[in-house]
Structure formats: structure tokens, C-alpha cells
Amino acid sequence: MKKRNILLVLAAAAAVALFFFVRAVFRGDIIVNPVIIENLGPFSIRWYGVFIAAAIITAYLIARAQTLREGVKEEYLIEGTFLGIIFGVIGARLYYVAFNFEFYRDDFFSIFKTWDGGLAIHGGFLVGLLVAFLYTTFRKKAGATFLQATDVLTLVFPLGQAIGRWGNFMNYEAYGNPTDLPWKMFVPPQYRMPGYSRSSYFHPTFLYESLANIAIFVFLFWYLRKKRKNYGEVTGLYMILYSIIRFIIEGLRLDSLYIGQTELRTARVVSVILLVLGTILVILSRYKGKPVKEGA
């Protein structure tokens, strides 16, 4: 049997096993433990961290293939990726803490416990854009423009999000309102939001977003390879597509961040802003942007 066929068989087997495992967890037949190994010195290994690491590695490998196609040397990709990861995680955490400050006000050191969850995608994305701008501005030797870099970033970002969301699954977080739908997810009492102690099954909003992000990645990959004319188009499309998906799903979630004491969900407000900016960027890039290098 050819190596490719063997890999396909293994992938299919893994998908089937994952399906039955997730179904058992959703039913409540299996209660997952967020921690893989406890008391490893002063540390523990948690599923959340494993999925974040898997997301970063997978995204990097795809970004590497694309940047090499565009003539950017791998050393610059490694350098930019390292800076993006460090500051992206910091940005994702600070964004979450800023809009959830009441929780952290009396327990300052909890701010550093990222392994318990609490990384906001929008914060990581916005800081990622800032890092890309600063890097391409001051690292001229890299030979990449800002929108060229963000096109690669936004190509792989939704795939990383799709994988990372399974960390939420293992933490029993990022779920939605109670539901009786066939795909409802059982949440153990200790993980239920205040006021929902009598509800057992909830919308698996982490799964909705994971599947939607996979679809966004597939579309952007196809568009970049087949339809993109100018740099910036993929960036704008990501901003549009993810904003629509996030706006819809956010309405189901029970753990939304809010702007001050208002009823405005932070993610929905940011999604509307990014949707508008993404639309403008697509139009400007398509008709007045810098042409993509041949072969990219």
C-alpha cells in the first residue's frame, strides 16, 4: 500500500475514533480531565496548552509553504512567527483581562494563568496585525510588504483557531445556551455558568466555531491560490467571514465579554468594526492593491 493511502486510512480511523469519543463526552458518558499530567514539578501539562501548541505548529507549516512560494526566506518567517506568537498570546490575554477585569481585580496573579483558558481571539489577531506592520516596516531585508504578510497570517489563522477551540472543549468552556438539540453537549456541574446549575446540556459553540473556521480556511486557501490578484484580499476576506460567523455564534454563548456595564457584547462590536474594515480592504486591494508576485 502506498504511503499516501496509509496516511488516508490512518486519518479516517482517527476521525472515526474522534467522532465516537466526542459523542460520548457530549452524552456525558465520559467526563474529560483538562489536565494530562499533574504535579510535574511546579507545572502541569494541560490539554488546552497541547491544542494551542498543535494549532501553532500546523499554522506554521502551512505558512512556511506559502511564504517559500512567495520568495520569502524561512529565517524571516521563523523570526516573525516567534514575535507574533509571543506578543499575540500577550495581546489575547490582555484583551480578555481588560474586558473581564472584575474577576481579576482581587486576584492579580490569576492574570498569568493562561493554561486555565482566557485567551481572546480578537486580541491576538489585532496584536498580530500590529506585529506584522512593525516587522515589515523595520525588517526590510525580509522582502515582504505588510499586506503580503497579513495575507499569510489570515490564511492560517482560522485553521489555528479551529484546532485551538478544542482546548475549550477539554476545559468545558466556550459553550452556549441550554439546548435539547441532538448534538447537545453535557457540561458537568462544576463547569456550569452561574445560574445554570439545573441545566445539563448546552450548545457546543466551540464546535460551531471550529467547523466554521475550517470552512473559512478551505475557502481562503482556494481563493489565495486561484483568485487572488493583489495583496490584502485574503486579509479582508478573513475579516469579513470570521466576523459574520463570530457575530452569529456569540449570540449563543454564555461567557461573553461585555463593554463596561452595558449589554453590548465586546466580540459582536469588534466583529462589526472588522466587517466594515474588511469590506473596505477587499475593495481597495482588489482594484488598487499591489499585484501578487508571479507564482505566489
Q: Per-residue pLDDT tens for 158-177? A: 999 999 999 999 999 999 99
Question: Do residues 192 and 213 touch, judged by C-beta distance below 8 A?
Answer: no
Could you tell me what percent of the chain has a pLDDT over 90? 71
How many whole angstroms separate alpha carbon 58 and alpha carbon 115? 20
Give the pairing of strands 35-40 and 43-46. antiparallel
Q: What is the mean pLDDT of the chain?
A: 91
Q: What is the pTM of this model?
A: 0.91
Angle between helices 146-171 and 47-69 (to 10 degrees): 160
Contacts of 25 (CB under 8 A, 6+ apart): 31, 32, 169, 185, 186
- Does residue 210 have a pLDDT over 80? yes
- Band (pLDDT 50/70/90 cuts) for residue 228 is very high
How many whole angstroms separate alpha carbon 22 and alpha carbon 40? 27
pLDDT of residue 170: 94
